[in-house]
């Protein structure tokens, strides 16, 4: 026995948007035994699998187009206008669990688009939230993942800058500063969720307290990758796992302190499983 001292970060786990979506799904599953969900309800395979056992049916846009007279959950990431149009045409009842922070961002982007502003969105190509944001501009906004990619575009003198809600605040303002330093006028809209961005500082403080850090996250989570890197930069002895089976006993020596933390899409029950497994090493 290695007798590890194991602690879970109380600030980790689902953000309020994910909690709202999952609670809504569970309530309906309890009532009717099944529910369609457009895309993974959360970017965590373990949580998705748990809900599928309760009757959640994950579908894509092709399947959505074939459904009639059914209920479909819209997850926290939000959807473009085309999804709502399809739902009307197919007599689908949309159970909208879009995160309020995302909905506010969609509305702001739509307002900018209606004003004919040239919109650039700092975000991940193909991400569900970003697709919903692009939909507010009829696909005309430019999405970029880093400054290098942005500078490959022919940029206008006046740039309206937005961000996916889960991106790094520091990176967003670095991009803004670099553009202004190159002479561009930047209308920067900081639309990053503070419940996410505040975790940067919280995680740095948490990661410094332990010999080793286990960061628990789904491999599809953009937020997870960002926060894992925060931990890794702060404490090089940080390990990424998506499930308990990925833990390796040889990562640890006897008596070490181990901190467990995770993304906004990581369920607390999964971090507790990781804690129990480490305690048994």
> What pLDDT shows up at residue 123?
95
Residue 232 confidence (pLDDT) above 80: yes
Residue 240 confidence (pLDDT) above 80: yes
Same fold flag, 5-13+195-279 and 16-99? no
Which of 47, 129, 178, 245 is catalytic? The answer is 129
CATH architecture of 16-99: 3-Layer(aba) Sandwich (3.40)
Q: What is the mean pLDDT of the chain?
A: 94
pLDDT tens per residue across span 11-56: 999 988 899 999 999 999 999 999 999 999 999 999 999 999 999 9
Domain parsing of the chain, residue ranges: 5-13+195-279, 16-99, 101-192
Mean pLDDT of 263-275: 95
CATH 3.40.1010.20, domain 101-192, yes or no: yes
CATH 3.40.1010.20, domain 5-13+195-279, yes or no: yes
- 129 labelled catalytic: yes
Q: Is the pTM of this model over 0.85?
A: yes
pLDDT tens per residue across span 151-171: 999 999 999 999 999 888 889
Contact 1, 252 (CB under 8 A): no
| Tokens standing for residue 3 | 């007798």
């Amino acid at each position: 026995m290695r007798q590890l001292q194991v602690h879970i970060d109380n600030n980790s786990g689902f953000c309020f948007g994910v909690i709202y979506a999952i609670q809504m799904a569970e309530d309906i599953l309890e009532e009717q035994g099944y529910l369609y969900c457009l895309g993974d309800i959360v970017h965590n395979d373990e949580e998705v699998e748990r809900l599928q056992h309760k009757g959640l049916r994950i579908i894509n846009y092709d399947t959505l187009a074939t459904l009639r007279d059914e209920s479909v959950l819209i997850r926290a990431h939000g959807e473009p206008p085309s999804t709502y149009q399809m739902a009307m045409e197919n007599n689908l009842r949309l159970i909208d669990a879009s995160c309020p922070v995302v909905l506010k961002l969609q509305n702001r982007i739509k307002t900018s688009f209606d004003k004919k502003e040239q919109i650039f969105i700092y975000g991940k190509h193909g991400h569900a939230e970003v697709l919903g944001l692009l939909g507010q501009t009829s696909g005309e906004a430019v999405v970029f993942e880093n400054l290098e990619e942005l500078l490959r575009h022919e940029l206008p003198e006046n740039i309206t800058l937005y961000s996916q809600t889960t991106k790094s605040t520091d990176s967003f303002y670095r991009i803004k500063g670099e553009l202004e330093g190159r002479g561009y006028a930047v209308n920067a809209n900081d639309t990053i969720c503070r419940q996410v961005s505040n975790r940067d500082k919280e995680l740095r403080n948490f990661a410094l307290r332990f010999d080793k850090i286990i960061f628990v996250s789904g491999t599809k989570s953009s937020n997870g990758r960002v926060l894992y890197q925060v931990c890794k930069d702060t404490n090089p002895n940080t390990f990424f796992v998506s499930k308990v089976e990925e833990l390796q006993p040889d990562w640890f020596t006897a008596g070490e302190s181990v901190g467990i933390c995770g993304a906004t899409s990581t369920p607390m029950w999964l971090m507790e499983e990781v804690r129990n497994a480490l305690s048994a090493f």
